[in-house]
A and B are shown apart, each in its own frame.
Chain A
Amino acid sequence: MTNILETRKVVKRFGGLVAVSDLTFNIPQSSIVSIIGPNGAGKTTFFNCITGFYNIDEGDIVFNGRSIKGRSPDQIARLGISRTYQNIRLFNSMSTIENILAGMEPQLRSNWIGALFHLPGTVKEEREALLEANRLLDFVGLRGKGDDLARNLPYGDQRRLEIARALASKPKLLLLDEPTAGMNPRETAETTEFIKHLRDELGITILLIEHDMRVVMGISEHITVLDYGKKIAEGKPAEIQSNPQVIEAYLGRGAAASATIEVPA
């Protein structure tokens, strides 16, 4: 299986603090991979490195066989990496459907001249974009809420909208930063299904940061564990669950001897 994303000895420092250290890891095409680790382990920082929001200090990141080191976030988005945020970051004063349309940016070609004179190409592109946005609205189950302001949506819908906006750019790799944070068990189960569905139906590769072990163990094919910016373990869910180093990182040294990470049924 080919890897869609490979990071090679990535280092990111903030002054004296090494937030990501020597991180090498691969994401196979069309897989669901999770990153877990205690708070402050460098998971979100790693996301920011992949999306170009931070420049990495050492190492290399290769996406689809091309190095994306040093590229700007918009270039990386155009190459096919899209993301959501831990604390939802929607365009709050825009309507739901306009959020999705804004996410389609990498797909659109029209320019201001076309907009000014309503040239046929621009009109056609806008109409198709609107159709596509409406389809996405349906796909994430937000039909009927397209004209609501994003800030007025309930929490769960905001999470869905953020995913819809990320999907609008037709990404090859989707980074989800704690997609089930703050959800009740039923919503969490729905979201888990939905993520699986994304991969199965659309073939999108998914990289996930998640704290909810039920979600992580349930859908990941591969898990990487970070602690203090370092990779301390990786493997299949079953291997991670019984890895003593992981248990130590999560529960402390004393607990490591007797425990396994518990996955609530």
Chain B
Amino acid sequence: MAQPSTFNKAVRIGLITGVVALSVSAIGMVETFDVRDIITGVLTLGQLLLFSTALIAGYFSWQKGEGVSPAGAVLRGLVAGLLTAVPPILLVIVANLWPDIRNSFVNVSASLIDILTFDQGMVTGSLILLAVMGVLGIIGAAFDLLPGRVQKPLLYGFLAMLGIGLLSEILLLILRPYTPRALLNFLFGAKGITPITAVIIFIVAAGFSAWWDVQGKNAAERRRVNRSPSTAKQLRRLNIGLLIAFILILPLIMGTYLTEVADIVGTFILMGLGLNIVVGFAGLLDLGYVAFFAIGAYVMGLLTTQSDLGIGGISFWAALPFSVLAATLAGIILGVPVLRMRGDYLAIVTLGFGEIIRVLVVSDLLKPYIGGAQGILQIGKPEVLGFVFVQPEHYYYLILAGCLLAVFVSWRFRDARLGRRWMALREDEDVAEAMGIRLVSTKLMAFATGAAFSGLAGAIFASRLSSIFPHSFNLLISINVLSLIIVGGLGSLPGVVVGALVLVGLPEMLREFAEYRLLLYGALLIVTMLLRPEGLWPSPVRRRELHEADLERESDEAEEVHSMA
């Protein structure tokens, strides 16, 4: 036997993951997720969730450098895996002995028990579960015994298989119009991908990963090094061009449903870009960000609606600047009283501001003017030369234009004096002030820019849905936007896009997540903070130091400018 202390670790992790397995089962996640097949007839999302706990337990049951022998490692994995199975088995037994438990734990249903016991009844099923979890624990533990060049392909192959299986419904939706029926039937089951497809994906992904590590990476690196600066620049342009072309034709590929999802994601990207300026650049924690979204939407609604509430009945394009302007002004108005506040205090006040706007919108006081809980209907649609925007595809391009504008503005501001002031403010407000940075204008500029983006998002949102209701503008939107920029990487522009895709796009596409959305956010935030505090796609350090050659050239140029002036 090895030292008992390392076995303690396996026991501890096994118990933790066991409790996790029990929780996800008892709150109904396993059962809800069981309807989605990843690999037809083999693995459902619910099972994946359940089984991954044992895999994780096994993986963390020992660590390299603890002097554990391979056999010891496998043994630890087994212990952790078996322990992970214990709490769910207890749940099965309890549910069998006292069926009344369902009155209190509504999610402990017969079908959940069937999932946990593989439809084999209490005794046999429990034993199977124990065995499966034990084996998975061993696999998890053994994974770390493998050399890195084997680990990576296995992991990527596995992840590719699961990812594609998970999104099979969407792939099917996209491929259906172009692909022969026979091929589709071969690739996809009733739900999920067929086992053969899964194996093919695994082999391809793992094979590619292995090839990349052994040869591809070096070859690519060689080519990159040998490339002349001008070719590198051309290639970059080509890549960006291809990316833009891809984004432009995306709605044609995706179809209406997915384009609608893209519209929602795009709206959140636009808001995320705005909040990224306030929180990511300037470090001002704003929890009432939805207020500006609401203001943009309501101004758009009131100015363009055909119903009795309307003020102008003017066109979308004429109303758009007013929406953005109103949100910007609101940003400044909120900014002034909170200039002297920091951190938590700022967060609380902005939270209150968001609530004030929401309460005002539903209030009876303003009902005659802005519709109260009945909201505003018949909001105007944009029109270009007689062409009216109706379909999600049309709005896709409008939102895309908004996002591109916001990216451009963020990017220009970030790299300018203003961006430096924001970041200095974020890093240390007192020092920033002592360096001569004017706090008032710097903070107000951040609030105003952030609010303007949000107002733009709100205006497009109102027009896209053609009706708005107060309950669309709750605190949850603020939390969503904040979470997505944290997960993506605070202060990073690509991070906002990645964050929105993960936190908004995925739950929209996988409807089972809807109920557990907040849980998912919480879990993702914690995992991000623990494993990747800088976010999924952090912003790189901008290289600005000039080297000898640049310095001389720059000096010459500067002198030329001087002599010309």
Q: Are A91 and B434 in contact (CB under 8 A)?
A: no
Smallest CB–CB gap between A167 and chain B, Å? 11
Write out the residue numbers on chain B whose beta carbons fall within 8 Å of the beta carbon of A83.
434
Residue ID in chain A nearest B551 by CB atoms = A134
Q: Are B437 and A131 in contact (CB under 8 A)?
A: no
Q: Are A102 and B434 in contact (CB under 8 A)?
A: no
Smallest CB–CB gap between B52 and chain A, Å? 34
- Give the secondary structure class of A's interface: helix
Contact of A105 among B412, B437, B542, B554 (CB under 8 A): B437
Interface presence of A22 (CB below 8 A): no
Among A23-31, A115-123, A214-222, A231-239, the stretch that binds chain B is A115-123
CA distance A112 to B445 in the complex (A): 9
Q: Are B420 and A112 in contact (CB under 8 A)?
A: no
Contact with A along B410-421 (1 / 0, CB 8 A): 001101111011
Interface presence of A67 (CB below 8 A): no
Interface presence of B183 (CB below 8 A): no
Q: Are B546 and A116 in contact (CB under 8 A)?
A: no
Residue ID in chain B nearest A115 by CB atoms = B416
Smallest CB–CB gap between B277 and chain A, Å? 12
CA distance A126 to B561 in the complex (A): 14
Among B102-110, B389-397, B423-431, the stretch that binds chain A is B423-431
Write out the residue numbers on chain B whose beta carbons fall within 8 Å of the beta carbon of A102.
420-421, 423-424, 432, 435, 437
Write out the residue numbers on chain A whose beta carbons fall within 8 Å of the beta carbon of B424.
91, 94, 102, 105
Q: Are B544 and A146 in contact (CB under 8 A)?
A: yes
Q: Are B546 and A105 in contact (CB under 8 A)?
A: no
Q: Are A131 and B546 in contact (CB under 8 A)?
A: yes
Residue ID in chain B nearest A135 by CB atoms = B551
CA distance A112 to B541 in the complex (A): 22
Write out the residue numbers on chain A whose beta carbons fall within 8 Å of the beta carbon of B554.
127, 130-131
Q: Are A116 and B412 in contact (CB under 8 A)?
A: yes
Interface presence of B514 (CB below 8 A): no
Q: Are B423 and A77 in contact (CB under 8 A)?
A: no
Interface presence of B96 (CB below 8 A): no
CB interface residues, B 399-455, toward A, < 8 Å: 409, 412-413, 415-418, 420-421, 423-424, 426-428, 430-439, 445
CA distance A94 to B426 in the complex (A): 10
Q: Are A77 and B434 in contact (CB under 8 A)?
A: yes
Q: Are B542 and A95 in contact (CB under 8 A)?
A: yes
Residue ID in chain B nearest A51 by CB atoms = B434
CB interface residues, B 287-324, toward A, < 8 Å: none
Interface presence of B555 (CB below 8 A): yes
Q: Which residues of B contact A (CB under 8 A)?
A: 409, 412-413, 415-418, 420-421, 423-424, 426-428, 430-439, 445, 541-546, 551, 554-555, 557-558, 561
Q: Which residues of A contact B (CB under 8 A)?
A: 51, 53, 72-74, 77-78, 82-83, 85, 89-98, 101-103, 105-106, 108, 110-112, 114-116, 118, 122, 124, 126-131, 133-134, 137, 144-147, 149, 165, 169
A to B CB contacts below 8 Å, 5 in the list: A74-B435, A93-B427, A94-B420, A105-B435, A131-B555
Per CB-CB distance, the 5 closest pairs between chain A and chain B, nearest first, are A146-B545, A115-B416, A77-B436, A91-B427, A106-B436
